[in-house]
Structure 1
């Protein structure tokens, strides 16, 4: 009984730590120039927003489907017969399971293609330019004041 309460306590401690850290958010770093202007290192004004298309690699699940199907077929085949009949059932189940799993994996694969993305040019507070390409629509327009965080543009 002691091990169950230890496991529960450990899980509870991990969940509390995750909850505490998930509320943490770093604020943009500010700086002061020689003429008194206080700016933000990661902030700037949007100069241009352009929708583009980026290449997306497809996913191929046929290999995984083959392996999972062969294992499942082999396990099911092991429940049939005795001796040599059992061995034949295991091999046959694995082969048939592999073929079926391959077909299921191919059906669930995604083809390669293009994904809409947005390219945002930002004139940073320090005078430099930054170009960010991101998949989620940032919802900003030229002239908007934004912050760049984790290679994403957010309205400020």
Structure 2
């Protein structure tokens, strides 16, 4: 009798061990990463760099200067005098401030003209070509690996 219970116990112990160990079996890992997801969509190799000249629009700050000067002059004029004298001081301060502000605004304006720029042709990792024209010198040469970000080329 004893041998049946030992056999039965051994079989039960083996079944418990198999059941316990089957829960520990690891499943094979599958990677779903494709080549396209690993490619930088805005990276590539510089094919050509050429310095060009582009037309840049000027800025005219004289209007802004006039308004700021007139307001400042009017505020300063309001601190002078009483009654009619105060009104005259406000008007006079606004006029003088507007003229001074206009001159300061003109001095800070930039004329229109041509500026040097760089045109960079990049063969992207996905096989397409991108042409970027930018004013700051990119500091790259043909064969350099670069990234395009915010319409500017940067060495990578």
TM-score (norm: length of structure 1): 0.71
Q: Report Cα offsets for 1:118-145 as digits up to 9, x if no partner.
A: 1101111222111111122111111222
Distance 2:66 2:146 in 1: 48
Change (3 A) 1:115 1:31: farther
**How far does residue 65 in structure 1 lie from its aligned partner after superposition?**
1.0
* Match status 1:32 vs 2:32: no
Distance 1:140 1:60 in 2: 34
Distance 2:70 2:100 in 1: 9
Distance 1:78 1:39 in 2: 66
Moved >3 Å (runs of 4+): none
Larger Rg: 2
Distance 1:46 1:31 in 2: 25
List gaps (5 residues or longer) in structure 2.
1-32
Matches within 5 A, 1:1-156: 32=35, 39-156=39-156
Distance 1:137 1:54 in 2: 14
TM-score (norm: length of structure 2): 0.71
Distance 1:110 1:31 in 2: 51
Q: Secondary structure at the match of 1:50?
A: strand
Distance 1:85 1:125 in 2: 74
Q: For the aligned residues, what is the CA RMSD?
A: 1.8
